[in-house]
Amino acid sequence: MKDKKAQVTIFVIFGLILLIGGVILFYMRADIAEIISEDISVVDEVDTNLRPIKNYVEQCMYDVGLEGFRIIGANGGYLSPMSTNAFRYDYARVDQNDGLMFTEDYFIPYWSYSVDPKDNYWFFQQVRAPSLEDIEQDAKRYLENNLLRCLDNLSDLDYGTDLFIEGMPEVKIQIGEDKILLRTDMPVRIVEDNRVVDEFYTEIPLPFKRYYDVALGVAYSHQQTSFVENMILALIGYYGKVDSNALPPFFDFKKGYDFVVWSQMDVEMKIKQMMQSYIQTIRFVGAKNSLKLNMDHLDQMEKDFFNKGQINLFNEEYIDDAEISLVYVDAPIYSRVFGKNTDSSTIRPEKYTSSSMIGASTVEHTYKFAYDLTIPILAELKFDPIFENEEPFVFMVGLESNIRKNLRWMDYAVGNGPIIWDDSFIQYDFGDGVEMTTSELTGLSIPAGQPEKKFFGNEQQFLSGDIVVNVYDDASMELVEGVSVTIGVGDYASAVIGSTKEQESGEIQFRGKAPLVTNGYLVFDKLGYARQIKKITTREGEDQTMNIRLAPLTTKNVSMRVYDLDVNSYRDLKDNETVIFMISRIDEGDKIVSFSRFLQMGKDSSATLELIPGRYTVDAMLIDGEGVIIPKNCDKECYYDPWPFKTCEYYPDDNIVMQPAMWGGLEFKEEDLFYLSRDNVYGDNEIQLSVLRFKTPDCIDGLEDMSKKNALTLQHQTNLLPTFN
């Protein structure tokens, strides 16, 4: 027992280091940024008659540069987050994602997020934000790629001859304290007299560094104080009651045979509604939209709740031109309530029965529940425009809020969580005297964010032989152009090494070299196709050729029907019914990366679904808006009081109403058969999906169907497999 206590102490110290280190890093960041930013000098002045060219180009630099920074702010500090392969999003694993996915092209990364959040023994919250150097590089790339678009009409300047731009622009950007400095080297030649203007400089009076500091402060405040988690726990404590219309309580008990049952789906919906109603009560003191209320009419609990939502982050002058709002955007959440008598579908209390010496019995139900939650929150920072008639500058930041077993990450960090398991407790014996612990067996890992990652992507380290890749469309078997090729090694590093394009021979393929890796991987990615991985080991001077088949994402029109177990036949969805359908492809050795899709349909709604061939797991829920009713006095419990006189008590005393009710669906697990063939996916336009509706319950025992979804699915499998038209 002494060793376990010592381990807990280590993690307490580790948690405190995280808390203190985050604060130190936040206040040191401004000094670090000055070191890493590149110095930019003002260019020399030009002749007066060349000034129109210089003015035109510098105005374009200003317009395109500001446009780029607006895009970066709206994307959470990144130009195009999902194109970097640094972030992941899986609709089937909400608690394992790296940000909020709004559309396929719009993703906001988390700046504050949990590490290993599904670990019941230990998890912690950390801050990951792009550096100012990273943002400068993104802005540089945007300006270099889009400046010429703005210069299309440069030749309209009246010089009596043609103007010719020689080469691509080379841009340098520096984010200063209260402005952004831009310099572009790009020769513009006057054809008639061969004069050249090749240096351009402008400044954008945008205090982006302060905007970045405010965004970083919001992320660190979320990590250090858990202000969202505090609000959630307070609301569950307030709304948790022994009532099917409320949330399951942290703790309560009631005597009698009557008891309350909740569904996990219903609790998840209530948590979402609660977040939409209350998240904006969290405000930042000093911001333009901070709340100033007269609290004389509030009771003490309401005052305490309001005060906990007022976050003191900066001195008021630092954010008095900003509106800082927290928003829950009805995104998927991870929600699970645990207790001794709960499962993936239902939440029930524990039942205790005691008997007296004369045979009388007393029944008591104990309601003791623990919540696991992951809820994505969007922080929107809106700063006043610098000039009139301009739009405000918007900076978006993703915040992942996590609760495990009713605890915040800092509760685990200071030792209030469960005892930490250490893999060194296990010793492996391989025979012949060879013994090894788990940590020795798995080896050491290099933490993310080390400088070696940038070294890995340096083209001077591309020492392999020639790598040739032919990428084919799995449907048409034609070669695909524009497929991005990335090489990586575990969690250590990755780098884009090129793309498929037309070669001198006329073939469309990737040809190039790569860093030397052992047991690495190649990622092939193109919009409209499922991302694919292939293992690779590269050696100096060793050539390789490989063929890849990328599966195109084929869009199907979806129709939905219900197989009703009350009548054992199909019917259409009713007005009050909604189906939530999640489908995830199983890896069959072709290494297609986490392909999952989600759809929600009502009676008259239309939907489409992107599919690729393969085997799938499916989890669907049929939500009945009218709900189901367990009639009162439908069951009984009898006892002798006293012997031999038999007494029966009927329960429940009143109707149990579950509204809405998760009363159907289907579930195909990995070992079950749900297969979409190439002919079905690539050859047909419509897919018809089916879900079960459970039998209407006669009494409480009928609720057991909610936990038998997989068994009922397999029982009626032939009626539930998809059909194609």
Q: Which residues pair with 608 in a beta bridge?
A: 557
- Give the model's pLDDT for residue 20: 42
Q: Which region, left, alpha or beta, applies to residue 409 given φ > 0 means left and ψ of -120 to 50 means alpha?
A: alpha
Predicted confidence (pLDDT) at residue 15 exceeds the cutoff of 50: no
Tell which wins on pLDDT, 331 or 302. Answer: 331
438 pLDDT band, cuts 50/70/90, is: very low
**Which pair of structure tokens corresponds to residue 469?**
């890749």
Q: Which residues pair with 629 in a beta bridge?
A: 657
CA 369 from centre of chain: 26
Predicted confidence (pLDDT) at residue 316 exceeds the cutoff of 70: no
Predicted confidence (pLDDT) at residue 4 exceeds the cutoff of 60: no
Q: How far apart are CA 274 and CA 289, in angstroms?
A: 21
Tell which wins on pLDDT, 431 or 471. Answer: 471
Q: How far apart are CA 28 and CA 25, in angstroms?
A: 5
Predicted confidence (pLDDT) at residue 491 exceeds the cutoff of 60: no
Helix-helix angle 132-150:208-225, to 10 degrees: 140
Query: What digits encode the pLDDT tens for the residues 25-40?
Result: 444 443 433 333 445 6
Q: How far apart are CA 441 and CA 433, in angstroms?
A: 15
Q: How far apart are CA 76 and CA 129, in angstroms?
A: 9
Tell which wins on pLDDT, 648 or 163. Answer: 648
Q: How far apart are CA 183 and CA 145, in angstroms?
A: 15
DSSP character string of 517-558: -SSEEEEEE-TTB--EEEEE---BT--EEEEEEEPB-EEEEE
Q: Which residues pair with 592 in a beta bridge?
A: 532
- Give the model's pLDDT for residue 377: 94
Q: What does pTM read for this prediction?
A: 0.55
Q: Out of 240-244, 344-348, 362-366, 715-719, which region has the weakest mean confidence (pLDDT)?
A: 362-366
Query: What digits encode the pLDDT tens for the residues 360-412?
Result: 567 888 899 999 999 999 999 999 998 888 899 999 999 999 998 888 887 77
By percentage, how much of the chain surpasses pLDDT 70? 80
- Give the model's pLDDT for residue 14: 42
- Give the model's pLDDT for residue 539: 87
Predicted confidence (pLDDT) at residue 716 exceeds the cutoff of 90: yes
- Give the model's pLDDT for residue 126: 84
Q: How far apart are CA 454 and CA 380, in angstroms?
A: 31
Mean pLDDT (whole number) for 561-574: 95
DSSP character string of 388-443: TT-PPEEEEEEEEEEEBTTB-HHHHHTT-SPPPP-GGG-EEE-STT-EEEHHHHH-
- Give the model's pLDDT for residue 41: 58
Predicted confidence (pLDDT) at residue 229 exceeds the cutoff of 90: yes
Q: Which residues pair with 660 in a beta bridge?
A: none
**Which pair of structure tokens corresponds to residue 122?**
């230990």
Identify the residue whose tokens are 């109603």: 277
Query: What digits encode the pLDDT tens for the residues 81-92?
Result: 877 777 877 776
Query: What digits encode the pLDDT tens for the residues 104-140?
Result: 778 899 999 887 644 445 567 888 899 999 999 999 9
Residue 396's identity, in one-letter code, is: M
Query: What digits encode the pLDDT tens for the residues 520-529?
Result: 889 898 888 9
Identify the residue whose tokens are 């590089």: 137
Helix-helix angle 227-239:300-308, to 10 degrees: 150
Query: What digits encode the pLDDT tens for the residues 159-193?
Result: 655 777 888 999 999 999 899 999 999 998 887 77
Mean pLDDT (whole number) for 417-425: 47
DSSP character string of 101-168: EEETTEEEEEEEEEESTT-SS--EEEE----HHHHHHHHHHHHHHHHHHHGGGGGGS-SSS-EEE-S-
Print burial letters for 36-54: b (CB count within 10 Å at least 16), e (below 16). Answer: ebeebeebeebeeebeebb
Predicted confidence (pLDDT) at residue 458 exceeds the cutoff of 90: no
Identify the residue whose tokens are 């009928």: 702
Mean pLDDT (whole number) for 455-472: 80
Query: What digits encode the pLDDT tens for the residues 587-609?
Result: 776 567 667 887 889 888 888 89
Q: How far apart are CA 204 and CA 66, in angstroms?
A: 7
Mean pLDDT (whole number) for 248-274: 90
- Give the model's pLDDT for residue 44: 60
Predicted confidence (pLDDT) at residue 335 exceeds the cutoff of 70: yes
Q: Which region, left, alpha or beta, applies to residue 33 given φ > 0 means left and ψ of -120 to 50 means alpha?
A: alpha
Q: How far apart are CA 659 and CA 123, in angstroms?
A: 35
Classify 241 as helix, strand or coil.
Answer: coil
Identify the residue whose tokens are 């942290």: 250
**Angle of CA points 476, 482, 485, to nearest 5°:** 105
- Give the model's pLDDT for residue 495: 79
Predicted confidence (pLDDT) at residue 224 exceeds the cutoff of 80: yes
Predicted confidence (pLDDT) at residue 643 exceeds the cutoff of 50: yes
Q: Which residues pair with 616 in a beta bridge?
A: 585
Tell which wins on pLDDT, 359 or 562. Answer: 562
Tell which wins on pLDDT, 294 or 9. Answer: 294
- Give the model's pLDDT for residue 39: 56
706 Cβ contact partners less than 8 Å away, ≥ 6 residues apart = 263, 345, 346, 662, 663, 694
- Give the model's pLDDT for residue 115: 74
249 pLDDT band, cuts 50/70/90, is: very high
**Which pair of structure tokens corresponds to residue 149?**
């678009």
Question: Quick one: which of 722, 711, 461, 698 has its CA closest to 583?
Answer: 722
Question: Quick one: which of 383, 706, 362 has its CA closest to 565?
Answer: 706
Tell which wins on pLDDT, 429 or 689. Answer: 689
CB 157 within 8 A of CB 131: no
